[in-house]
Protein backbone atom coordinates (compact mmCIF):
# COMPACT_ATOMS: atom_id res chain seq x y z
CA UNK A 1 0.00 0.00 0.00
CA UNK A 2 1.35 3.42 -0.95
CA UNK A 3 2.23 5.78 1.86
CA UNK A 4 2.53 9.55 1.96
CA UNK A 5 6.24 10.30 2.32
CA UNK A 6 5.59 13.53 4.21
CA UNK A 7 4.32 12.88 7.72
CA UNK A 8 1.97 15.64 9.05
CA UNK A 9 4.09 18.56 10.23
CA UNK A 10 1.58 19.56 12.89
CA UNK A 11 -0.77 17.29 14.86
CA UNK A 12 -3.55 18.39 17.20
CA UNK A 13 -4.19 15.79 19.93
CA UNK A 14 -7.16 15.69 22.29
CA UNK A 15 -6.76 13.47 25.32
CA UNK A 16 -3.02 13.97 25.00
CA UNK A 17 -2.38 14.02 28.75
CA UNK A 18 -3.65 10.46 29.22
CA UNK A 19 -1.90 7.11 29.02
CA UNK A 20 -2.29 6.56 25.27
CA UNK A 21 -1.83 10.25 24.48
CA UNK A 22 1.48 10.45 26.32
CA UNK A 23 2.94 7.57 24.33
CA UNK A 24 1.57 8.98 21.09
CA UNK A 25 3.07 12.43 21.66
CA UNK A 26 6.52 10.92 22.29
CA UNK A 27 6.25 9.02 19.00
CA UNK A 28 5.05 12.10 17.10
CA UNK A 29 8.00 14.13 18.35
CA UNK A 30 10.36 11.40 17.17
CA UNK A 31 8.73 11.73 13.72
CA UNK A 32 9.57 15.42 13.72
CA UNK A 33 6.00 16.66 14.16
CA UNK A 34 5.00 19.63 16.27
CA UNK A 35 2.15 18.78 18.62
CA UNK A 36 -0.68 20.88 20.02
CA UNK A 37 -2.56 19.28 22.93
CA UNK A 38 -6.08 20.28 23.96
CA UNK A 39 -6.17 19.95 27.75
CA UNK A 40 -8.69 21.05 30.37
CA UNK A 41 -5.89 21.89 32.79
CA UNK A 42 -3.24 24.55 32.09
CA UNK A 43 0.21 23.13 31.39
CA UNK A 44 3.50 24.66 30.43
CA UNK A 45 4.77 24.12 26.90
CA UNK A 46 7.62 21.67 26.40
CA UNK A 47 9.95 21.29 23.40
CA UNK A 48 7.77 20.58 20.39
CA UNK A 49 4.52 20.56 22.40
CA UNK A 50 2.03 23.39 23.00
CA UNK A 51 -0.92 23.04 25.38
CA UNK A 52 -4.21 24.89 24.87
CA UNK A 53 -7.40 24.89 26.94
CA UNK A 54 -9.70 25.84 24.07
CA UNK A 55 -9.86 25.13 20.36
CA UNK A 56 -10.04 28.88 19.82
CA UNK A 57 -6.52 29.06 21.27
CA UNK A 58 -5.17 26.81 18.51
CA UNK A 59 -5.24 29.60 15.96
CA UNK A 60 -5.03 29.05 12.23
CA UNK A 61 -2.51 26.28 11.46
CA UNK A 62 0.04 27.66 9.04
CA UNK A 63 1.02 24.27 7.65
CA UNK A 64 -0.76 20.99 6.83
CA UNK A 65 -1.92 19.31 10.00
CA UNK A 66 -3.77 16.25 11.25
CA UNK A 67 -5.96 15.52 14.28
CA UNK A 68 -5.93 12.59 16.72
CA UNK A 69 -9.01 12.57 18.93
CA UNK A 70 -8.47 10.49 22.08
CA UNK A 71 -10.50 12.52 24.57
CA UNK A 72 -12.85 10.72 26.95
CA UNK A 73 -13.35 10.27 30.70
CA UNK A 74 -11.86 6.83 31.62
CA UNK A 75 -14.58 4.23 32.13
CA UNK A 76 -12.76 2.78 35.16
CA UNK A 77 -12.47 6.11 36.99
CA UNK A 78 -15.32 5.41 39.39
CA UNK A 79 -18.53 3.46 39.99
CA UNK A 80 -21.02 4.06 37.21
CA UNK A 81 -24.16 6.06 37.88
CA UNK A 82 -26.28 8.38 35.75
CA UNK A 83 -24.01 11.37 36.45
CA UNK A 84 -20.90 9.45 35.44
CA UNK A 85 -22.59 8.10 32.32
CA UNK A 86 -23.39 11.67 31.27
CA UNK A 87 -19.74 12.55 31.85
CA UNK A 88 -18.62 9.60 29.69
CA UNK A 89 -20.88 10.83 26.90
CA UNK A 90 -20.15 14.55 27.22
CA UNK A 91 -16.37 14.04 27.29
CA UNK A 92 -16.56 11.97 24.11
CA UNK A 93 -19.54 12.97 22.01
CA UNK A 94 -19.83 16.65 22.85
CA UNK A 95 -16.12 17.32 22.59
CA UNK A 96 -15.89 15.43 19.29
CA UNK A 97 -18.80 17.43 17.86
CA UNK A 98 -17.10 20.65 18.96
CA UNK A 99 -13.83 19.50 17.40
CA UNK A 100 -15.45 18.68 14.04
CA UNK A 101 -17.27 22.03 14.01
CA UNK A 102 -14.00 23.84 14.65
CA UNK A 103 -12.30 21.92 11.86
CA UNK A 104 -14.96 23.20 9.49
CA UNK A 105 -13.96 26.79 10.27
CA UNK A 106 -10.29 26.24 9.42
CA UNK A 107 -9.19 27.87 6.20
CA UNK A 108 -7.04 24.81 5.64
CA UNK A 109 -8.88 21.85 7.26
CA UNK A 110 -6.81 18.91 8.55
CA UNK A 111 -5.67 16.35 6.03
CA UNK A 112 -6.68 13.48 8.31
CA UNK A 113 -8.39 12.72 11.60
CA UNK A 114 -8.00 9.53 13.61
CA UNK A 115 -10.79 9.37 16.19
CA UNK A 116 -10.90 6.85 19.01
CA UNK A 117 -13.79 4.52 19.71
CA UNK A 118 -13.83 1.19 21.54
CA UNK A 119 -14.59 -2.47 20.92
CA UNK A 120 -17.58 -1.99 23.20
CA UNK A 121 -19.29 -0.82 20.00
CA UNK A 122 -19.89 -4.50 19.14
CA UNK A 123 -21.76 -5.20 22.38
CA UNK A 124 -21.85 -8.58 24.12
CA UNK A 125 -21.41 -11.19 21.39
CA UNK A 126 -20.11 -14.35 23.10
CA UNK A 127 -17.73 -16.39 20.96
CA UNK A 128 -18.60 -14.70 17.65
CA UNK A 129 -15.55 -13.50 15.72
CA UNK A 130 -16.00 -9.77 15.10
CA UNK A 131 -14.45 -7.73 12.31
CA UNK A 132 -15.04 -4.21 11.09
CA UNK A 133 -18.02 -5.38 9.02
CA UNK A 134 -19.81 -6.98 12.01
CA UNK A 135 -22.94 -5.37 13.42
CA UNK A 136 -23.29 -3.99 16.93
CA UNK A 137 -25.58 -5.24 19.72
CA UNK A 138 -27.58 -2.70 21.74
CA UNK A 139 -26.37 -1.77 25.22
CA UNK A 140 -24.76 1.16 27.01
CA UNK A 141 -21.26 0.58 25.61
CA UNK A 142 -22.53 0.18 22.05
CA UNK A 143 -24.78 3.22 22.28
CA UNK A 144 -21.98 5.36 23.72
CA UNK A 145 -19.49 4.32 21.02
CA UNK A 146 -22.07 4.67 18.24
CA UNK A 147 -22.82 8.26 19.27
CA UNK A 148 -19.06 8.95 19.57
CA UNK A 149 -18.37 7.62 16.07
CA UNK A 150 -21.33 9.48 14.60
CA UNK A 151 -20.04 12.74 16.05
CA UNK A 152 -16.65 12.09 14.43
CA UNK A 153 -18.26 11.72 11.00
CA UNK A 154 -21.07 14.26 11.01
CA UNK A 155 -20.16 17.50 9.25
CA UNK A 156 -16.53 16.54 8.66
CA UNK A 157 -14.81 18.75 6.04
CA UNK A 158 -14.66 17.08 2.63
CA UNK A 159 -10.88 17.55 2.55
CA UNK A 160 -10.40 15.54 5.76
CA UNK A 161 -9.76 11.81 5.56
CA UNK A 162 -11.41 10.11 8.52
CA UNK A 163 -10.40 6.95 10.41
CA UNK A 164 -12.25 5.55 13.43
CA UNK A 165 -10.19 3.25 15.67
CA UNK A 166 -12.11 0.80 17.88
CA UNK A 167 -9.62 0.17 20.67
CA UNK A 168 -9.48 -2.90 22.90
CA UNK A 169 -7.74 -3.45 26.27
CA UNK A 170 -4.50 -1.46 25.97
CA UNK A 171 -1.53 -3.05 27.73
CA UNK A 172 1.26 -0.86 29.06
CA UNK A 173 3.57 -0.93 32.04
CA UNK A 174 2.83 2.68 32.99
CA UNK A 175 -0.92 2.98 32.51
CA UNK A 176 -4.16 1.37 31.45
CA UNK A 177 -5.51 -1.76 33.12
CA UNK A 178 -2.31 -3.81 33.45
CA UNK A 179 -0.78 -2.02 36.47
CA UNK A 180 -4.10 -2.42 38.31
CA UNK A 181 -4.04 -6.18 37.73
CA UNK A 182 -0.41 -6.59 38.75
CA UNK A 183 -1.02 -6.05 42.47
CA UNK A 184 -3.08 -9.22 42.94
CA UNK A 185 -1.26 -11.14 40.18
CA UNK A 186 2.11 -10.73 41.93
CA UNK A 187 0.54 -12.22 45.06
CA UNK A 188 -0.56 -15.25 43.09
CA UNK A 189 -4.20 -14.17 43.36
CA UNK A 190 -4.78 -13.05 39.77
CA UNK A 191 -7.37 -15.60 38.76
CA UNK A 192 -10.17 -15.20 36.22
CA UNK A 193 -13.02 -12.72 36.46
CA UNK A 194 -16.35 -14.51 36.72
CA UNK A 195 -16.41 -17.56 34.46
CA UNK A 196 -13.24 -16.45 32.67
CA UNK A 197 -14.86 -17.54 29.39
CA UNK A 198 -15.35 -13.99 28.13
CA UNK A 199 -13.03 -12.80 25.35
CA UNK A 200 -10.55 -9.98 25.90
CA UNK A 201 -9.35 -8.18 22.80
CA UNK A 202 -6.11 -6.53 23.81
CA UNK A 203 -3.25 -4.58 22.19
CA UNK A 204 0.28 -3.59 23.23
CA UNK A 205 0.58 0.19 23.66
CA UNK A 206 3.43 0.32 21.13
CA UNK A 207 1.34 -1.42 18.47
CA UNK A 208 -1.58 0.92 19.12
CA UNK A 209 0.62 4.00 18.74
CA UNK A 210 2.18 2.61 15.58
CA UNK A 211 -1.29 1.92 14.18
CA UNK A 212 -2.33 5.54 14.80
CA UNK A 213 0.81 6.80 13.06
CA UNK A 214 0.21 4.36 10.19
CA UNK A 215 -3.34 5.64 9.74
CA UNK A 216 -2.10 9.23 9.74
CA UNK A 217 0.53 8.65 7.09
CA UNK A 218 -1.34 6.26 4.76
CA UNK A 219 -3.62 8.27 2.46
CA UNK A 220 -5.63 5.26 1.30
CA UNK A 221 -6.75 4.37 4.84
CA UNK A 222 -10.21 5.56 5.84
CA UNK A 223 -13.23 4.23 7.71
CA UNK A 224 -13.34 1.88 10.71
CA UNK A 225 -10.32 -0.08 11.98
CA UNK A 226 -10.11 -2.40 14.98
CA UNK A 227 -7.30 -1.37 17.31
CA UNK A 228 -6.65 -4.84 18.71
CA UNK A 229 -3.99 -7.53 18.41
CA UNK A 230 -4.75 -10.38 16.00
CA UNK A 231 -4.93 -12.99 18.80
CA UNK A 232 -7.69 -12.19 21.34
CA UNK A 233 -7.81 -14.50 24.37
CA UNK A 234 -10.33 -15.66 26.92
CA UNK A 235 -10.00 -13.80 30.20
CA UNK A 236 -9.00 -16.94 32.10
CA UNK A 237 -6.14 -17.47 29.61
CA UNK A 238 -5.12 -13.83 30.03
CA UNK A 239 -4.91 -14.39 33.80
CA UNK A 240 -2.98 -17.64 33.34
CA UNK A 241 -0.48 -16.07 30.92
CA UNK A 242 0.05 -13.07 33.19
CA UNK A 243 0.73 -15.41 36.12
CA UNK A 244 3.17 -17.41 33.99
CA UNK A 245 5.13 -14.31 32.98
CA UNK A 246 5.28 -13.25 36.63
CA UNK A 247 6.13 -16.81 37.75
CA UNK A 248 3.10 -16.79 40.02
CA UNK A 249 0.02 -19.01 40.21
CA UNK A 250 -3.29 -17.55 39.03
CA UNK A 251 -5.94 -19.57 40.78
CA UNK A 252 -8.17 -17.29 42.89
CA UNK A 253 -11.14 -16.18 40.79
CA UNK A 254 -13.18 -13.03 41.27
CA UNK A 255 -16.77 -14.37 41.34
CA UNK A 256 -19.14 -12.50 39.07
CA UNK A 257 -21.53 -11.72 41.92
CA UNK A 258 -18.73 -10.10 43.94
CA UNK A 259 -17.54 -8.12 40.91
CA UNK A 260 -21.06 -6.81 40.33
CA UNK A 261 -21.43 -5.92 44.00
CA UNK A 262 -18.11 -4.06 44.07
CA UNK A 263 -18.13 -2.42 40.64
CA UNK A 264 -21.74 -2.40 39.52
CA UNK A 265 -22.46 -1.90 35.82
CA UNK A 266 -18.77 -1.47 34.97
CA UNK A 267 -18.20 -5.11 35.93
CA UNK A 268 -21.07 -6.29 33.73
CA UNK A 269 -20.15 -4.15 30.71
CA UNK A 270 -16.35 -4.43 30.77
CA UNK A 271 -15.01 -7.21 33.01
CA UNK A 272 -17.53 -10.04 32.82
CA UNK A 273 -18.43 -9.68 29.16
CA UNK A 274 -16.21 -9.06 26.17
CA UNK A 275 -15.74 -9.21 22.44
CA UNK A 276 -13.70 -11.52 20.22
CA UNK A 277 -12.40 -8.81 17.90
CA UNK A 278 -9.89 -9.22 15.08
CA UNK A 279 -8.10 -6.39 13.20
CA UNK A 280 -9.06 -7.65 9.75
CA UNK A 281 -8.73 -4.36 7.85
CA UNK A 282 -5.36 -3.32 9.31
CA UNK A 283 -3.82 -6.69 8.50
CA UNK A 284 -5.32 -6.78 5.01
CA UNK A 285 -3.88 -3.33 4.27
CA UNK A 286 -0.40 -4.25 5.43
CA UNK A 287 -0.06 -3.19 9.06
CA UNK A 288 2.54 -5.29 10.89
CA UNK A 289 2.09 -6.07 14.60
CA UNK A 290 5.24 -6.20 16.70
CA UNK A 291 3.32 -8.07 19.43
CA UNK A 292 0.61 -10.28 17.91
CA UNK A 293 0.61 -12.79 20.80
CA UNK A 294 -0.17 -12.06 24.45
CA UNK A 295 2.88 -13.73 26.00
CA UNK A 296 5.35 -11.78 23.86
CA UNK A 297 3.52 -8.56 24.76
CA UNK A 298 3.62 -9.27 28.49
CA UNK A 299 7.23 -10.44 28.33
CA UNK A 300 8.13 -7.11 26.72
CA UNK A 301 6.18 -5.00 29.21
CA UNK A 302 7.10 -6.89 32.39
CA UNK A 303 10.42 -8.52 31.56
pLDDT in tens, 248-301: 887 677 666 776 766 677 766 777 688 999 999 999 999 999 999 999 999 999
pLDDT average, residue stretch 71-97:
89
pLDDT value at residue 186: 83
Q: Among positive and negative, which fits the CA dihedral 94, 98, 100, 101?
A: positive
Evaluate whether the domain defined by 10-302 bears CATH number 3.40.50.920.
Answer: no
Task: Kindly give, in sequence order, each residue whose CB lies less than 8 Å from that of residue 239, ignoring residues fewer than 6 positions away.
Answer: 185, 190, 191, 192, 193, 196, 250
pLDDT value at residue 221: 96
Task: Kindly give, in sequence order, each residue whose CB lies less than 8 Å from that of residue 197, ignoring residues fewer than 6 positions away.
Answer: 234, 235, 236
CA distances from 161 to 16, 26, 81, 158, 221 (A): 21, 23, 36, 8, 8
Q: 141, 92 in Cβ contact below 8 A?
A: no
Confidence of residue 79 (pLDDT cuts 50, 70, 90): confident
- pLDDT over threshold 50, residue 4: no
- pLDDT over threshold 50, residue 83: yes
Pairing, β 233-234 against β 199-200: antiparallel
pLDDT value at residue 76: 79
pLDDT average, residue stretch 144-169:
96
pLDDT, tens digit (0-9, with 9 covering 90-100), for 139-153: 999 999 999 999 999
Amino acid sequence: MARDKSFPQQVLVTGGTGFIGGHLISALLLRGARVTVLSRLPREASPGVTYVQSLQDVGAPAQPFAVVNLAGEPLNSGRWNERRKRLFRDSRVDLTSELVSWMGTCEQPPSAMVSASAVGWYGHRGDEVLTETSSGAPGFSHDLCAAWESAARSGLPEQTRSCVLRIGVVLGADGGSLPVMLGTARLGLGGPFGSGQQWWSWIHINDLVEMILWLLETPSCSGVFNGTAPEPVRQRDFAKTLGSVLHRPAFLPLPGAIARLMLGEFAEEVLLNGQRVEPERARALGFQFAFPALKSALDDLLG
